[in-house]
A and B are shown apart, each in its own frame.
Chain A
Amino acid sequence: MDYRYNINSEEKDVRIDASGSSLTATLGEKIFDVEIVPTGESSAILKLNGKSIPVRYIRRNGEIHLMVEGWNFVAKEPMADTGISGGHEADVVDGLQTIVAPMPGQVVKVNVKEGEKVTKKQCLVIVEAMKMENEMNSAVDGTVTAVHVEAGQQVDAMQPLLEVTQSDK
């Protein structure tokens, strides 16, 4: 049986084959002997090639939320992806980087002007949320092509703050 999941925004295909009572999982070119033993309502031991890995999981809204060795993962069917799930990182699409507010807060300072050249890791704007100042840095070298906010302004989560067009490499 084939399963396709979007794991924290990264697509992975897993095939599960049953032969008798044992299962194998195929991921890319890797094949694992696999077994899952429930140990509680939301916990199980995943046996992967004989190694025991405790996992915790819960189903929510058609997604499987997992915790493995301290890391959080959300496994969702690719179709169910809302598009926002990629997180709050500066998204660079076709050479255009849009800096968005990580969460509701207040713009403390805008460090750049439209037309200004910026470098990777340069702090572009500071947004305060939960009493801490969050420095929003550029992920690319480029030129500021739009500034949508000013200092003191309240912003919502995911609200675009400014745009940077990436320099030609």
Chain B
Amino acid sequence: MSSARPQGHPALATEAVARRLKKRYAAERRFKGACITALSLALLFLVLLFANIAVKGYTAFEQTYIGLDIRFDPQTLDPTGERDPEVLRQANYNTLVRDALTDLFPEATGRSERRELAGLVSNGAAFQLQDMVENNPSLIGLSRRVWLIASDDADMLRKGNISRDVPEEQRRLSDRQIAWMESLEAQGRVEMRFHRLFFVNGDSREPELAGIRGAVLGSFYTMLVTLALSLPLGVAAAIYLEEFAPQNRWTDLIEVNINNLAAVPSIVFGLLGLALFLNVLGLPRSAPLVGGIVLSLMTLPVVIIAARAALRSIPPSISEAAYGLGASRMQVMFHHRLPLALPGILTGTILGMARALGETAPLLMIGMVAFIVDVPKGIFDPATVLPVQVYLWADSPERAFVEKTSAAILVLLAFLILMNLAAVLLRRKTERQW
């Protein structure tokens, strides 16, 4: 650079150049620093997001249990002594829990005090006892220590999410209840256990009883429908466009269409589902069938684009060899190109399915947000899916739902990571240099 300049005093010129060079190098460092900062910021967000969810969610896999000495009182459970299953089912198991609690804390006498005392144990405790008695009627008349699910508030206290320093009227547990919990703990009657119910229960209004099984199965059925529709249709479309379509305006239109469809906001697909599938075709609301159809329309462009790329990457020499041996176009496609392109197609499909699995907005439109306790048994049953469950729980006011939501997110992310891992492995395993 300096050689292009008119030379004055040589020493002065080099000095000026050196000064300018210093400045330019500083600018260089600043720019590089800005670039590094940007990248680290983006990665920092990623770490923050994961850490935040993990820290909030991991406690949900444990649940507080309270050990109570339950007297399986024959008078309450089976007054006639006939062990009739119907009578056993109808008996009032809540009384057993309440009696056990009153035995422990005889000082709780007033109505409201007793209600507060019973509020430490979940409503689900009665079902626990019912199951025990139905499986083993010989328990009646005996006394046993049973570990019962604590209520969400007691659970939150134990996990440190309810602060003892807040004034009484601002927390969900009274001073009395906290004192009882502390005394239970001192007697070794409070324990943390693995929260199996979170994985085997459907949704519930009670956070300690709410589980993700219904949502997981709902997601499974929805994905089943999506896969069954988008894979064959996507592959068919890709084959046609790659191999058979004439080059004309009509096929151009189809191609432009597919590219634009990939960029349509997901919620618009939900509107389509509502207007067309629910209102015009009269398909059932909230069903995985409709959810799966809507999501498959969204996934279709992804599958088509991936399948076309995979088909195109198969070298022409293979088709030419097959043609040379007298194969027809269909034979070349279905006997040679498609099988060779299949790993690539599947990789694209898995990635598309992973995106569909995380999709929420279109499913809100077609009624998959309903509160559904029952675990769905097929594609026609009302159901919800994992991301919608996350949305529903995130909206619930109870503090205990925060950790449930985070835990559900962790499960969802685990599924997504598994699917992406499968796609990466599949790609690596079948990658071939032609």
A binds B: no
